[in-house]
A and B are shown apart, each in its own frame.
Chain A
Amino acid sequence: MDLSLNAEDRAFREEVRAFFREHLPVDIAEKTRRSFHLHPEDMLRWQRILHEKGWAAPAWPKRYGGPGWTALQRYIFDEELCMADVPLPLLAGQGVNMVGPVIYTFGSEEQKAHYLPRILSGEDYWCQGFSEPGSGSDLASLKTRAVADGDDYIINGQKIWTSLAHNSNMIYCLVRTDPAVKPQRGISMLVFPMDTPGITVRPIISIDRGHSLNETFFENVRVPRSSLIGEEGKGWTYAKFLLGHERFTIAEIARSKRRLQRLHQMARETAVGDATLADDPIFRDKTTAIEIDLLALERMGLRVAWEMDQGIDNMLSASILKLRGSQIIQAVTELSVEAMGYAGLAYESLESGCTHSPSAPDIAQGKMEEFLFLRAATIYGGSTETQQNILAKMIYAGA
């Protein structure tokens, strides 16, 4: 057993770091550092830079335009990305991390040839149509119907929590194609443009006063049958594949490390009488406890990454990663807000859609917003309670 990075891994880290240093536009890094919301144009600009380098989709195999990295390399890439204040791939993320792998694993040759390059180049931005008002944790009960009609499907129904639907031009959607069979077996996955007639997007303002969530309504939306991914009735399998993929990224291990690092910096800049918050032993105990939790999560993450490279599918650890990852995300953001003290309570909404706390230092800007929005970290992508159910099933079955 050798748990250290080898020379090749370290060289890879240097290469990634140098690339970000050289090519990440200063204005984008600065906006990310100050938690400003990126304009879709900025996200696209960065996506193009990554694409030119061939790094737009770190997890994709070479033949589909990915760099063909090992899982460990991807982890190193992600860590460097977070430390350099590279923006989260908000818009590109759904295509790159979610639907892309589904398309290259289950899609037809035509679908691969059409969609994959457009995801890489940033031409298509995707949103996810999974949850419905009555189907959250119980996703399999979804009701949005797609009825075959000649060469088309006609879709009627409603999705909710469609992140960035208002900025996306494509959607991948779970629909019920067969209401007669067992719920999981009557679900199919369709992909289609957001400007298809009959689609209405209504904003949902979240607890942070921001707009990233939406309700999406489908009224007699007609899409060609070529919109179907894989086979009819297999949508549940594809969704599980996708959510399994998601569980690793959603744990945000590297992002939590960056947040913790920034929290230390914030504490050093926060005066408490003649000293700073960083000098306070009680505060230090709290950051230390989180750091140890995070270290455990990171080592678990590295193991899962290594296992993926070996072709070992460790669903138990994937669920634990999501469960612990979301708890740690919340622990760091909670402590960040606590560190701000009174300054955190000032919370203005700017016209740009960003928020601002006038009496807080630059380093603390956006922390309250992050804290508020990330209450959802234990809800989205399979809530903590859902993960616990999944884990219970696996553990009781002998995992």
Chain B
Amino acid sequence: MDFRLSDEQAMLRESLSGWLARNYGFEQWRRLTARRPPYSLENWDSFAAMGWLRLAMPEDTGGMGLGAIEEAGVGEAFGSHLVVEPYLSSIVLSAGLIALAGTAAQQSAMLPAIGGGRLRIAFAHAEAESRFELSRIGTRAARTEAGYVLSGRKILVLDAPGADRIMVLARTAGDIAAEAGLGLFILDPKSQGVSLRSYTTVDDRQAADLVLDGAVAEEVLGDPEAAYPAVAAATDRALVYLCAEGVGAMSALCEQTLAYVRIRQQFGQPIGDFQVIQHRVVDMRVQLECARALTLYAASVADGEPLERARAASAAKVQVGRSARFVGRAAVQLHGGIGMTDELAVGHYFKRLLMVETLLGDIDFHQRRFASLPSELA
């Protein structure tokens, strides 16, 4: 056992925090989120140039062949600066799925383009009635002479506005909740039969609801009836990334709150001198450290055996969700009125944490998933 970062991991961490410190202050964030889509392609190019977009891609497609720990490093750094570029959707999920489910030809056709920043793909999985259940998919893909034709509805397709392509999880066979009979299909959002209803998310990014009515897929990733294991694996990886993003955002909130209670004077002294405030600051830190511990554990097993991977990812998501609630709410509370304003970063971290808590399954969902898996203690 060795908790130290490798030289490579330490260098990655330094390059991330250095670049973000120089280029991604709160004012820059504000300018980015005023755009449509709410991010910057110049930033995306910089991420590509630094290799961050191809960290986890296989080496034979121009990737660096690294894993979930490195991806979590990106997540934590991005979370601490509220990065809005579509890393989760396009890199962790879509590129991750291509690497897991795509044929060798598909991988070498798409991954270099994604890693080079020239292709962004959003991932459409959620449906209104499935809540967080991954395999509960009503969107149908039917094989025709023209190729696979898709019909159905998807909600909250993160980063769909501005994406070059959309990857859709759809059913080719089986009952609505079956794990078998699912496939991954890539669509051009401008093609016939695809309509997007774009909107702003609570944290000032963008997503869309998607209506597919006879849309023809450009690509089918690998086996159109057996995508589920890849989707489950990529989602667990994405959970780790999301948890790391939460850890980054919480650590920023802990820092900002500590700085604030040290300077805010009431009753003739900094409020941070009151024991009740000190204890709350401590509780925030305790929550952060618990979240960090489980996130790191989940990252370390994310590329391993499916059962441990799933257990760890769900445990981390539950812990991060609970921690995010506590830290986010305490940060606003300790800032008082000023924490309620759009002007301060605190509220924006609070809202990002709300996304982290809910995306890919909330606390209840992952607690149930964890409980459904075999445990040594049970």
Q: Which residues of A contact B (CB under 8 A)?
A: 131, 134-138, 141, 160-161, 204-207, 209, 213, 271-273, 277, 282-283, 334, 337-338, 341-349, 358-359, 368, 372-373, 375-376, 378-380, 383-385, 388
CB distance from B253 to the nearest CB of A (A): 14
CB distance from B340 to the nearest CB of A (A): 5
How many A-B pairs with Cβ below 8 Å?
126
Q: How far is the CA of A375 from the CA of B155 in the complex (A)?
A: 27
B266 x A137 contact (CB < 8 A): yes
B333 x A207 contact (CB < 8 A): no
A388 x B276 contact (CB < 8 A): yes
B333 x A379 contact (CB < 8 A): yes
B350 x A379 contact (CB < 8 A): no
A379 x B337 contact (CB < 8 A): yes
A338 x B207 contact (CB < 8 A): no
Chain B residues, Cβ within 8 Å of A385: 276-277
Q: How far is the CA of A167 from the CA of B126 in the complex (A)?
A: 42
A346 x B201 contact (CB < 8 A): yes
Smallest CB gap from A342: residue in B:
B156
CB distance from B362 to the nearest CB of A (A): 7
B358 x A204 contact (CB < 8 A): no
A205 x B341 contact (CB < 8 A): yes
Chain A residues, Cβ within 8 Å of B329: 375
CB distance from B298 to the nearest CB of A (A): 22
Q: How far is the CA of A383 from the CA of B340 in the complex (A)?
A: 13
Q: How far is the CA of A232 from the CA of B333 in the complex (A)?
A: 34
Question: Can you add 20 more A-B contacts, CB < 8 Å, to A373-B340, A375-B339?
Answer: A137-B266, A138-B267, A205-B342, A205-B343, A207-B347, A271-B128, A272-B131, A273-B136, A338-B362, A341-B132, A342-B131, A342-B156, A345-B201, A345-B202, A345-B354, A359-B128, A359-B155, A375-B332, A379-B332, A383-B336
Smallest CB gap from A272: residue in B:
B131
CB distance from B203 to the nearest CB of A (A): 8
Q: How far is the CA of A320 from the CA of B351 in the complex (A)?
A: 29
Contact with A along B118-160 (1 / 0, CB 8 A): 0000000010111111001000000000000000000110000
Question: Is the CB of B197 closer than 8 A to any CB of chain A?
Answer: yes
Chain B residues, Cβ within 8 Å of A347: 199-202
Question: Is the CB of B209 closer than 8 A to any CB of chain A?
Answer: yes
Chain A residues, Cβ within 8 Å of B336: 136-137, 379, 383
B199 x A207 contact (CB < 8 A): no
Question: Is the CB of B12 closer than 8 A to any CB of chain A?
Answer: no
Chain B residues, Cβ within 8 Å of A378: 333
The B interface, classified by DSSP as helix, strand, loop or mixed, is mixed
Q: How far is the CA of A271 from the CA of B153 in the complex (A)?
A: 15
Chain B residues, Cβ within 8 Å of A341: 131-132, 358, 362
B364 x A358 contact (CB < 8 A): no
CB distance from B245 to the nearest CB of A (A): 15
Q: How far is the CA of A204 from the CA of B343 in the complex (A)?
A: 8
A376 x B337 contact (CB < 8 A): yes
Question: Is the CB of B66 closer than 8 A to any CB of chain A?
Answer: no
B156 x A359 contact (CB < 8 A): yes
A342 x B343 contact (CB < 8 A): no
Question: Is the CB of B20 closer than 8 A to any CB of chain A?
Answer: no
Q: Which are the 7 A-B pairs with shortest beta-carbon distances?
A: A207-B347, A138-B266, A205-B342, A347-B202, A271-B129, A342-B156, A359-B155
Q: How far is the CA of A277 from the CA of B265 in the complex (A)?
A: 46
A207 x B276 contact (CB < 8 A): no
Q: How far is the CA of A338 from the CA of B363 in the complex (A)?
A: 10
A343 x B128 contact (CB < 8 A): yes
Chain A residues, Cβ within 8 Å of B364: 282-283, 338
- Most chain B CB within 10 A, of A207, A213, A283, A380, is at A207
Q: How far is the CA of A282 from the CA of B271 in the complex (A)?
A: 38
B155 x A343 contact (CB < 8 A): yes
Question: Is the CB of B355 closer than 8 A to any CB of chain A?
Answer: yes
Contact with A along B323-341 (1 / 0, CB 8 A): 0010001001100110111
Question: Is the CB of B113 closer than 8 A to any CB of chain A?
Answer: no
Task: Choose one: A207, A342, A368; the contact of B341 (CB below 8 Å).
Answer: A207
Question: Is the CB of B230 closer than 8 A to any CB of chain A?
Answer: no
Task: Choose one: A131, A141, A388; the contact of B337 (CB below 8 Å).
Answer: A131
CB distance from A150 to the nearest CB of B (A): 35
Q: How far is the CA of A376 from the CA of B133 in the complex (A)?
A: 34
B177 x A273 contact (CB < 8 A): yes
- Most chain A CB within 10 A, of B202, B265, B266, B325, is at B202
Chain A residues, Cβ within 8 Å of B200: 346-349
Q: How far is the CA of A359 from the CA of B364 in the complex (A)?
A: 21
Jot down 8 A-B pairs with beta carbons below 8 A, ordered by A: A134-B265, A141-B267, A273-B129, A345-B354, A359-B209, A375-B333, A379-B332, A379-B339
Contact with A along B359-373 (1 / 0, CB 8 A): 100101000100000
Smallest CB gap from A357: residue in B:
B199
Chain B residues, Cβ within 8 Å of A161: 337
Q: How far is the CA of A207 from the CA of B266 in the complex (A)?
A: 23
Q: How far is the CA of A141 from the CA of B265 in the complex (A)?
A: 11
A358 x B341 contact (CB < 8 A): no
